[in-house]
């Protein structure tokens, strides 16, 4: 995504033609719904963090879960929207150009997330296109701090990216890929806060390279990965026959994001250390008799093995929690989520097989294991909703 930097630094460009891509009347109606929804906390996760600095990261994040769950509940209480119906607008809409934007999102997803892309093909056309649009926005956001132009990204550039996010939620996209997401959020009860929180995670990467405890790390994992679950569930949908609470399904989606990011961190310890970053709780390292110097030396010792066993155990606990919610999703949406979960869990197995050497060996799941996981994921997807809630 080499062009991301240009889009952030000079976001406006010639965007006039793109304004006609998004149904204005539909978007404004959705925004009024946001204004009417009332929440018990009355504040977002960010503002509550300022008002209540002693609250844990999990409590702060749960505010966002409640807000998103309330939006979904409100929509479920209304007559089901026919997502295949084109909304009448007060201006001309170039549907061919919008379809092209979604197709391009699908191409990006197919190139960079092949297994997940295959799973999305089982979804309804509207749902899979929406998931592609969300995936592409998340990828572009991540590329800002981890892509080829990362050294040129500043906090001001992220501020401009966030302003651009505000605009696309209001039906003012800057380019074709933004137009696809703008159309998506006009159709589904997706709140802007998880998107803003992901950008906040990118800000953390610019200024923070150490995490004192797991509470700090949990918030970072939510920002950069847990947010994806909160973005996606409104699109994937909850099974009509599910007896689970909306909040419990969102908690499971959040847990999957946390589990995936913890797995990324444990897989990439050596790679991150070479960039001067250590995404491991400092207090837990100290408890096992380890320090930053041990990470930079990259030697596998008994202390390191014991530390890693403890970290892997926690990541698996989050995967276990995530499993409870996957079966509650709409039937057509379960397979890609199960595939992602099973494949990522196997990365933890690979770390163990490498004797916990994540300094110089990269843990990965081979093609044979990947293909073997797909029918297992499909079988679980067919099992239907669980009795776990």
Residue 9 in any domain: the answer is no
Residue 316 in any domain: the answer is yes
Residue 1 in any domain: the answer is no
**Confidence class for position 384, pLDDT limits 50, 70, 90:** low
At residue 172, does pLDDT exceed 90? yes
3-state SS record for 135-171: HHHHHHHHHHHHCCCHHHCCHHHHHHHHHHHHHHHCC
DSSP type of residue 190: -
CATH number of the domain residue 64 falls in: 1.10.600.10
| Cβ atoms 260, 340 nearer than 8 A | yes
At residue 223, does pLDDT exceed 50? yes
| Cβ atoms 193, 41 nearer than 8 A | no
What pLDDT does 36 receive? 31
| Cβ atoms 112, 143 nearer than 8 A | no
51 three-class SS: helix
Instruction: State the total domains in the chain.
Output: 1
What is the spatial distance between Cα 181 and Cα 369, in angstroms, rounded to a whole number? Answer: 33
What is the spatial distance between Cα 214 and Cα 324, in angstroms, rounded to a whole number? Answer: 23
Residue range of the domain that includes 157: 57-72+94-383
Question: How large is the average pLDDT for residues 301-313?
Answer: 98
What percent of the chain lies above the pLDDT cut of 90?
62
Which class for 389: exposed (0-12), middle (13-18), buried (19 or more C-beta within 10 A)? middle
Residue 225 in any domain: the answer is yes
What percent of the chain lies above the pLDDT cut of 70?
80
| Cβ atoms 63, 44 nearer than 8 A | yes
What is the spatial distance between Cα 43 and Cα 35, in angstroms, rounded to a whole number? Answer: 13
Question: How large is the average pLDDT for residues 231-251?
Answer: 93
pLDDT tens for 21-31 read 444 444 433 33
**Confidence class for position 386, pLDDT limits 50, 70, 90:** low
CA angle 256, 104, 87 (to 5 degrees): 90
Residue 301 in any domain: the answer is yes
Question: How large is the average pLDDT for residues 7-18?
Answer: 36
318 three-class SS: helix
Pull the structure tokens for residue 179: 């137009």
Q: Which residue has the tokens 């990011």?
A: 261
Residue 298 in any domain: the answer is yes
Residue 178 in any domain: the answer is yes
**Confidence class for position 9, pLDDT limits 50, 70, 90:** very low
């Amino acid at each position: 995504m080499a062009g991301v930097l240009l889009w952030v630094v000079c976001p406006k460009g010639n965007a006039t033609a793109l304004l006609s891509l998004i149904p204005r009347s539909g978007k404004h109606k959705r925004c009024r719904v946001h204004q009417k929804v009332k929440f018990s906390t009355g504040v977002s996760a960010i503002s509550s963090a300022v008002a209540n600095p002693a609250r844990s990261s999990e409590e702060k994040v749960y505010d966002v879960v409640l807000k998103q769950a309330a939006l979904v509940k409100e929509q479920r209480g209304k007559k089901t929207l026919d997502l295949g119906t084109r909304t009448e607008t007060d201006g001309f809409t170039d549907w061919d150009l919008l379809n092209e934007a979604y197709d391009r999102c699908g191409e990006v997803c197919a190139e960079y997330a092949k297994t997940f892309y295959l799973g999305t093909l089982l979804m309804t056309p509207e749902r899979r296109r929406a998931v592609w649009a969300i995936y592409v926005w998340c990828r572009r956001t991540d590329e800002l701090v981890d892509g080829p132009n990362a050294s040129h990204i500043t906090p001001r550039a992220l501020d401009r990216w966030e302003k651009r996010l505000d605009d696309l939620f209001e039906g003012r996209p800057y380019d074709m890929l933004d137009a696809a997401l703008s159309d998506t959020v006009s159709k589904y009860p997706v709140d802007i806060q998880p998107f803003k929180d992901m950008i906040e995670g990118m800000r953390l990467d610019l200024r923070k390279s150490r995490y004192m405890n797991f509470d700090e790390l949990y918030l970072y994992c939510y920002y950069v990965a847990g947010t994806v679950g909160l973005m996606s569930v409104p699109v994937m949908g909850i099974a009509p026959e599910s007896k689970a609470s909306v909040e419990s399904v969102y908690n499971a989606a959040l847990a999957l994001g946390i589990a995936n990011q913890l797995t990324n961190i444990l897989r990439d310890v050596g790679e991150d250390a070479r960039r001067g970053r250590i995404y491991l709780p400092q207090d837990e390292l100290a408890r096992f008799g380890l320090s930053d110097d041990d990470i930079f030396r990259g030697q596998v010792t008994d202390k390191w093995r014991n530390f890693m066993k403890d970290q892997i155990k926690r990541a698996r606990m989050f995967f276990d929690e995530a499993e409870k919610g996957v079966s509650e999703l709409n039937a057509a949406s379960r397979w890609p989520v199960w595939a992602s979960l099973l494949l990522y869990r196997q990365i933890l197995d690979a770390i163990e097989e490498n004797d916990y050497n994540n300094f110089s060996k990269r843990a990965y799941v081979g093609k044979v294991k990947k293909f073997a996981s797909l029918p297992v994921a499909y079988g679980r997807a067919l099992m239907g909703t669980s009795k776990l809630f």
